[in-house]
Amino acid sequence: MGPTTETRVQETWLAVLTGITRFEGRSSVKTWIFKILTNRAKTRAIRERRTINFSELEDPKEPDQPAVDPSRFLPVAHPTHPGHWASPPEAWSASAEDAVVGREMMRVLQRELERLPPGQRIVVALRDVHGWPAVEVMRVLQRELERLPPGQRIVVALRDVHGWPAVEVCDVLGLSEANQRVLLHRGRSRLRGVLEAYFAENA
């Protein structure tokens, strides 16, 4: 962890501790601390004139990307099926469900793995755990989540990874309900596309 992170952490604590008398229990402590973190980051970005563009969060008007490549649909002028799938999605939702179950099994496996002697543990981990499809899917998903534009990434992370309700995400990020949904939609649509490509390659 670099000195910058350390400073930021210190600043956050200072803000938390000096502001604790102002905390009136209207929001959860989690939401409240997160709000302080984002405000600190905004102040810092302005002060340092950094290129981080927080307006990106408020204004999801980045180059508009359709949820699905338009070439996969029949043209609107099509006589019988305008706008219908020309190249429908291949079925993989069941495989993704397997990965969800696999993830649960992973947790159990990991706990058992910790109990093995170090030599055995590393061999089992490298040979059996890393090659497991469920692990691979999660890795792909994690990597792609990190590649999303900042606004989409933070909204998808808070909504789908952390499981926050929409209203809380709007609150801490200062987003309108509509903009929050646009960011969520773009982020999820892109991730679905990535998984579709992944399952097509690894079917």
Partner 1 sequence: MNDDTPREMACQELVDVITAYLEGTLPDADRSRFDAHLATCSACQEYLEQMRALVRLTGKLSPRSLEPATVDSLLASFRRWRDSQTRL
Question: Which chain residues interact with partner 1 by CB under 8 A?
Answer: 1, 5-6, 9-10, 12-14, 17, 66-68, 70, 73, 76, 81-85, 88-89, 91-93, 96-97, 99-100, 103-104, 137-138, 141-142, 145, 156-157, 160-163, 166, 177, 181, 184-185, 188-189, 191-192, 195-196
Q: Which is nearer to partner 1, 104 or 128 (CB)?
A: 104
Strand-pair partners of 73: 85
Minimum distance from residue 87 beta carbon to partner 1 (Å): 9
Q: Which is nearer to partner 1, 121 or 188 (CB)?
A: 188
Q: Which is nearer to partner 1, 98 or 123 (CB)?
A: 98
Minimum distance from residue 13 beta carbon to partner 1 (Å): 5
Q: Which is nearer to partner 1, 10 or 43 (CB)?
A: 10
26 vs 35: CA distance, rounded Å: 13
Q: Which is nearer to partner 1, 93 or 117 (CB)?
A: 93
192 vs 68: CA distance, rounded Å: 9
70 vs 87: CA distance, rounded Å: 10
Both tokens of 142, joined, read 């994690």
What backbone phi and psi angles, to 5 degrees, belong to 58? -80, -25
Both tokens of 2, joined, read 């670099």
Minimum distance from residue 173 beta carbon to partner 1 (Å): 14
Contacts of 159 (CB under 8 A, 6+ apart): 166, 169, 184
33 vs 31: CA distance, rounded Å: 6
> In sequence order, what E strands does the chain have?
none
Minimum distance from residue 96 beta carbon to partner 1 (Å): 4
Minimum distance from residue 45 beta carbon to partner 1 (Å): 18
Q: Which is nearer to partner 1, 156 or 173 (CB)?
A: 156
Residue 24 CA: distances (Å) to CA of 27, 47, 53, 130, 165: 8, 29, 31, 46, 21
Minimum distance from residue 68 beta carbon to partner 1 (Å): 5
